[in-house]
Amino acid sequence: MDIPGLRARARVLHALRTWFHDHGYLEVPTPVRVPSGAMEPHLHPIAASGAWLRTSPEFALKRVVAGGLPRVYEIGPCFRDQEGGSWHGDEFTMLEWYRVGAELVDLMQEVEDLVAAAASALERPAPAGWRRVGVRDLVLETTGRDVASSTAADLGGVNEGWDDAFFRLWVSEVEPQLREPVVIDEWPASQAALARVVERTAWPTAQRFEVFLGGVELANAFFELGDPVEQRRRFATANEERLALGLSPHPVDEAFVEATGRLPRCSGIALGVDRLVAALCGWPGITPGRVEVA
């Protein structure tokens, strides 16, 4: 058992909860066993006695926001099947928070502040020189390709759709160059997931950003979709993709879809706590600081 790792993890968890308390957020526990584990086609929930273990607390926390609480967060276990590698696990700890009235730029600053608070708790220097850049500019800079005008074949895809070709390019050529602390926004509209979309003629984009620290994806944020009709359409589209892949469709969380129509303007973000601790401590993966099942 890694006692120093457990102590580091405990210090970070305390620092995170202190930061949220000091900034007016309410910690809200939500169910781990849920009627629908995910919406995105490439997320694979784990079945649990006729229901699913959550892949994130997103659906439940948005219902809380729709019910009237303006600043909420949760730190707790989440579960995803078919996850592999030193930076993944079937079970992991996620921090997720929502703030009514916040723009994405507000959450960008909160991420930087939280990471600094966690670093301070570990008596390590806070990451400095955060960069903010859009997907289109970053891909052009690192690969020479303009994703706004590229076909799947232009991105190197062979017998696959545009998004699959994009992700293959992203993982092979872009992510390996992300060593500095960076916030990446303006993702392709086709990858909006649960975020709003900005309709531009040349390059429609999702109102979302991802955070990378030490080359590892740390967090994913959305300016939240508030349209239940569009939300239901996205469930259907994602399930069509799953069926085409030979996967069973995700159940639709009806209570969540209904609550989407009552959401105030807000932004939300999920951050991997295990990855945060590991990145700040310089570990090669998320295993240190966790109690593993024998």
252-280 per-position pLDDT tens digit: 999 999 999 999 999 999 999 999 999 99
Rounded distance, CA 222 to CA 197, Å? 10
From first CA to last CA, the distance across the chain in angstroms is 11
- The reported pTM is 0.95
Q: What pLDDT, in 10s, does the model give residues 103-129?
A: 999 999 999 999 999 999 999 999 999
Residues 6+ apart with CB under 8 A from 123: none
Using CA atoms, how far residue 168 sits from 223, 274, 287, in Å, is 25, 25, 26
**Planar angle of CA 162, 205, 43, nearest 5 degrees:** 60
8 backbone dihedrals φ, ψ, rounded to 5°:
-60, -45
CA diameter of the chain: 55
Mean per-residue pLDDT for 76-99? 93
259 backbone dihedrals φ, ψ, rounded to 5°:
-65, -30
Nearest Cα residue to 18 out of 100, 121, 109, 96: 121
Tokens of residue 8, six digits: 């580091």
Q: What pLDDT, in 10s, does the model give residues 184-224?
A: 999 999 999 999 999 988 899 999 999 999 999 999 999 99
Nearest Cα residue to 116 out of 270, 12, 196, 225: 12
The domain defined by 3-130+217-281 carries CATH number 3.40.50.880:
no
Residues 6+ apart with CB under 8 A from 30: 54, 57, 60, 61, 64, 74, 76
Rounded distance, CA 275 to CA 218, Å? 6
DSSP character at residue 170? I
Q: How many Å separate Cα 283 from the centre of its chain?
A: 21
So where are the chain's domains?
A: 3-130+217-281
Residue with tokens 């659906």: 59
Contact 71, 96 (CB under 8 A): no
* Mean pLDDT, rounded, of the chain: 95
Q: Which pLDDT belongs to residue 293?
A: 62
Tokens of residue 281, six digits: 């401590």
Strands 182-188 and 131-134: parallel
Residue 290 reports pLDDT greater than 90:
no
Q: What pLDDT, in 10s, does the model give residues 31-45?
A: 999 999 999 999 999
Tokens of residue 202, six digits: 């040349």
Contact 262, 66 (CB under 8 A): yes
Q: Which pLDDT belongs to residue 48?
A: 96
Rg, the chain, Cα only: 19
Amino acid at 180: E
Q: Which of 23-27, 79-83, 290-294 has the lowest mean pLDDT?
A: 290-294
